[in-house]
Amino acid sequence: MEPSGYPTAQVAPEPYDSFMRCHLRYYGYFRGQKTGGKQSPVSPRGHSECHRAEAPGLGSAGPGCRQRLGKEPSPRAPPVPCGEAGSPPAPPAAPRALLPGRSGGCGFPGEPRALFALPSARGPLPAPRWPIECEVIKEAIEHIEWVPPEPEPFCQPSSHEQAPAGSSEEQGTVVYHLSPVPPGSCFTRARARGAPGPLSSPAAALEGPQDTTLLFESRFESGNLQKAVKVGPYEYVLTLRPDLYTAKHTQWFYFRVQNTRRDAAYRFTIANLAKPKSLYGEGMRPLLYSQRDAHSRGVGWRRVGAEVRYYRRGGGEEPAAFCLSWSMRFPHDGDTCYLAHSYPYTYSDLQRYLRALVGDPVRSRYCAVRALCRSLAGNTVYLLTITGPAGGAGKRVVVLSARVHPGETGGSWAMRGFLDFVLSAAPDAQLLRQLFVFKVVPMLNPDGVVVGNSRCSLAGRDPNRAYGMGCRGSFPAVWHLRAMVERLLAEREVVLYCDFHGHSRKNNVFMYGCDGGRAGAAPRFLERVFPLMLSKNAPDKFSFPSCKFKVQKSKEGTGRVVMWRMGVTNSYTMEAAFGGSTLGGRNSHFTVEDLKSLGYHLCDTLLDFCDPDPAKFQQCLAEVDTLLRRRLGSGGSWNDVPTSDLESSTSGSDSSVSEGPPAQPGSSRGREERGTGEEVLVPVCHPGWLEPRRRKRLRSRRARNALHRPNTVHQSPAGAPVPPWSLRPRGQPRVPNTRGGGRGVLEEPEQPRGAVPCRPIPVTAGRGSRGRGAAAGDARLQGDTRAAGPARATATAAATAGSSRGTDVALPTPGAAAGGRGGWPGPASPRCYACARH
């Protein structure tokens, strides 16, 4: 039988050729064009190639790579008409993400092309890819954003050791049970929508309308609940699923309940938590989302729970297990509700946000959405490059990342607030885009986010301990991020690196930095200036006394320590508590807006930190010296004071203990199933590569501290320390991924020939010289966080206007009269602010 729409004289196409044509055209590789009633294919090298998006199953490739699926159409096989019977409808073409300052069209010749499925302004989002062992329901879970009108206070904490009275789990009835992953297994392959075939029924069926048993479900994106046992009429004992391919890390929970009763008092007990201390023991409460309230009243996530207890489980088992118990009431009968540890932010939420960003004609002018790499499961790790329309030549770089630990969702909300502000039309946002190039990785561990892990990736290990391993096969996102920073350090100055995290044991927001015990007082305080400024800009959220700067041996593989050793002086981990704030007279939980405001405060602090007027920096430096001397209670030389004595406590985030090798025994490669049903090999490191090298123990503290000196501290002739952003790293090795090496690290293109060179920026654009002098800056540091608003807006508008008119106003040169600090812009001779590097 001849295909529909073809002339009768032509021969029917072969089945394989017809299938391949439909498949390739579905992903936009070539289109059908009618010419005289016939269809003629367009070559993949034609115009349509510039607008296509790669199929989700393609592997990673470098910027210069030109991958093709299949081969050229056979001359015997006529093309299948687009939209006719027997062929799937082609999705709308995905517009390409543009580089800052560029307009639409096919771009410049040789421009790196996105060989990944980037979010499109139209059409469906790429489906997340799951390990083959995971079952996934078809319902799409999406929640509304809502801010409670009143603060949500902490509840009265109960005794940590007081277990609530109730029935034991052994006497109950299992009402929900997911089959666990076999012990000792590891990731082998992945596919969209998880395990193939019909879904199982882990929930017990209701016996009738009068049955009050809750119906549990967690087989959706970021969900985590393995077992539910009914031990009373309205009492349940819950068991969380450990991180996939491990036996530990049970903290994050997120599940759905149905068949609720409004007048009943329910009690839930999670019986297998791993951490001995939690904010639940200090008044933190879980989160509830009612689908009926969201549709009828626009109410989203809210804090619920009474009699919240966090205690050690009895029985003396090892390792010790801890329980979280709380009582609550549901708002409606027969409602669909969700319970969660923190405000969920899924991989699909990120894709929806990036799709709106790409489709915005204004914001997409100065934000390029690219793919940093692919995860083990094949999910795209997105990289955002944000800068002004003038391009990135000569600008300093700020690198930000989030969600390396998938259960710490507050990092994604803080990143969301940062992106909302830096991409806005606010004067400070415009100034930031003029001065810096932002490299942002909003979700480093998409696989862990998709499956609902707490800390680990599909390699079964904590990615935030793998920055120093250099294992590309098991931790691709970490490897590519480090390679990108190495390449940036060889070409530019990286003024700041910050990784967004969440904390489960301490309230408020704080930072972890790096102090290697370098000689001298002021050089050791440079890392403390940025957190102190941030605490002054967010006094009701950020706690500077909670910040820690000691480099512990267990943290040497974290992002902040590795970036610091590479030459990024200001390298931090920002921790936002799962609970809330106890500062500024408030004792309440964080809301989504509180977390998003951290992104704005980070931008505000970055401008203060890089202010050409050194008054703020010097004042903060003196204040840090006073605070630490008050803590020590004695004077003397700082050369003899170890870093541990400068801090009241050195406890940081929980160290991650891996659960064996991430690869199959005896194999260095796993298998991955692409969206087309094809299985390809996925490189996974050999187990021996991941074992930390044993180092010879050093005998003295001075010898140990010598390892934490990545570069020499420079001082001006007057003896004052040079600001950290003027220290250019020396001897940084170039990344072994050349432009033709196919590593997939996409970078900002160099300024083309004939481009207008950067002009000197007016001194009035600086935050320290906006007509208000040092007095206004000091007033802000003393608590008036809004003192510089109008002046900053006026100065930014003047800077922007002067730049657009081509007016060259002199910027002070380093080492001038203002402060007399070597490397710091002074108030005199002309110099380009973006190019002033030493």
How does pLDDT run across 167-208, given as a tens digit for each residue?
566 778 999 999 888 888 899 999 998 998 888 988 888 988
632 phi, psi to nearest 5 deg: -75, -30
Q: What is the mean pLDDT of the chain?
A: 73
**Cα→Cα distances 774→604, 609, 829, Å:** 17, 14, 20
Helix and strand numbers (H, E) in the chain are: 14, 27
Distance CA 164, CA 280 (A): 15
pLDDT of 237: 96
Residues 6+ apart with CB under 8 A from 436: 387, 395, 396, 397, 398, 495, 606
Distance CA 414, CA 542 (A): 13
pLDDT of 235: 96
**Cα→Cα distances 492→334, 678, 790, Å:** 59, 42, 32
pLDDT of 117: 55
Choice among 13-22, 151-160, 297-306 with the minimum mean pLDDT? 13-22
Question: Does residue 176 contact residue 227 with C-beta atoms inside 8 Å?
Answer: yes
Strands (E), 605-743: 669-673, 679-683
Q: How confident is the model over 86-117, as pLDDT tens digits?
A: 334 444 444 434 334 333 333 333 334 444 55
Distance CA 174, CA 227 (A): 7
Mean pLDDT of 653-673: 43
Residues 6+ apart with CB under 8 A from 623: 532
Kindly indicate the confidence band of residue 158, based on its pLDDT and cuts at 50, 70 and 90: confident
Mean pLDDT of 401-415: 97
pLDDT of 696: 53
pLDDT at 421 over 90: yes
pLDDT of 729: 40
pLDDT of 641: 58
Choice among 162-176, 328-342, 422-436, 645-659 with the minimum mean pLDDT? 645-659
Do the strands 396-402 and 494-503 form a parallel or antiparallel pair, or are they unpaired? parallel
Partners of 270 in the beta sheet? Answer: 238, 324
Kindly indicate the confidence band of residue 328, based on its pLDDT and cuts at 50, 70 and 90: very high
Choice among 176-180, 335-339, 505-509 with the minimum mean pLDDT? 176-180
Give the residue with greater pLDDT, 703 vs 515: 515
pLDDT at 491 over 80: yes
Choice among 52-56, 369-373, 500-504, 540-544 with the minimum mean pLDDT? 52-56
Question: Does residue 174 contact residue 204 with C-beta atoms inside 8 Å?
Answer: yes
pLDDT at 719 over 60: no
Share of the chain above pLDDT 70, in %: 58
DSSP string, 150-166: S--BPPPP--TT-PPP-
Mean pLDDT of 269-274: 93
pLDDT of 228: 96
Residues 6+ apart with CB under 8 A from 215: 175, 176, 203, 206, 257, 258, 259
- Nearest alpha carbon to residue 432 among 488, 482, 495: 495
Sign of the CA dihedral 528, 534, 539, 542?
Answer: negative
Kindly indicate the confidence band of residue 632, based on its pLDDT and cuts at 50, 70 and 90: confident
Q: How confident is the model over 812-834, as pLDDT tens digits?
A: 333 333 333 333 333 333 333 33
**Cα→Cα distances 631→181, 470, 525, 627, Å:** 50, 39, 14, 6
Kindly indicate the confidence band of residue 458, based on its pLDDT and cuts at 50, 70 and 90: very high
Do the strands 380-386 and 367-374 form a parallel or antiparallel pair, or are they unpaired? antiparallel
pLDDT of 156: 85
pLDDT at 160 over 70: no
pLDDT of 637: 54
571 phi, psi to nearest 5 deg: -120, 120
Q: How confident is the model over 278-320, as pLDDT tens digits?
A: 999 999 999 999 999 999 999 999 999 999 999 998 766 677 8
pLDDT at 81 over 50: no
Distance CA 39, CA 721 (A): 71
pLDDT of 483: 95
pLDDT of 789: 43
3-state secondary structure of 440: strand
Do the strands 396-402 and 436-441 form a parallel or antiparallel pair, or are they unpaired? parallel
Residues labelled catalytic: 575
Q: Which two tokens stand for residue 647?
A: 């801090």
pLDDT at 63 over 80: no
pLDDT of 565: 94
**Cα→Cα distances 809→171, 685, 814, 825, Å:** 80, 55, 16, 14
pLDDT at 648 over 80: no
Distance CA 137, CA 193 (A): 8
Q: Which two tokens stand for residue 129?
A: 């890819």
Any idea what DSSP says for residue 113? P
pLDDT of 630: 81
Any idea what DSSP says for residue 85? T
Q: How confident is the model over 747-795, as pLDDT tens digits?
A: 343 444 444 343 333 333 344 433 333 333 344 334 443 334 444 444 4
The pTM for the full model equals: 0.70
Share of the chain above pLDDT 90, in %: 48
- Nearest alpha carbon to residue 406 among 656, 741, 695: 656
Sign of the CA dihedral 306, 310, 315, 321?
Answer: positive
pLDDT of 166: 52
- Nearest alpha carbon to residue 133 among 177, 176, 190, 56: 190
Kindly indicate the confidence band of residue 702, based on its pLDDT and cuts at 50, 70 and 90: low
Q: Residue 268, exposed/middle/buried by CB under 10 A (0-12, 13-18, 19+)?
A: buried
Kindly indicate the confidence band of residue 625, based on its pLDDT and cuts at 50, 70 and 90: confident
pLDDT at 664 over 70: no
Mean pLDDT of 613-625: 90
Greatest mean pLDDT range, 5-14, 389-398, 644-653: 389-398
Greatest mean pLDDT range, 34-48, 511-525, 803-817: 511-525
Question: Does residue 732 contact residue 566 with C-beta atoms inside 8 Å?
Answer: yes
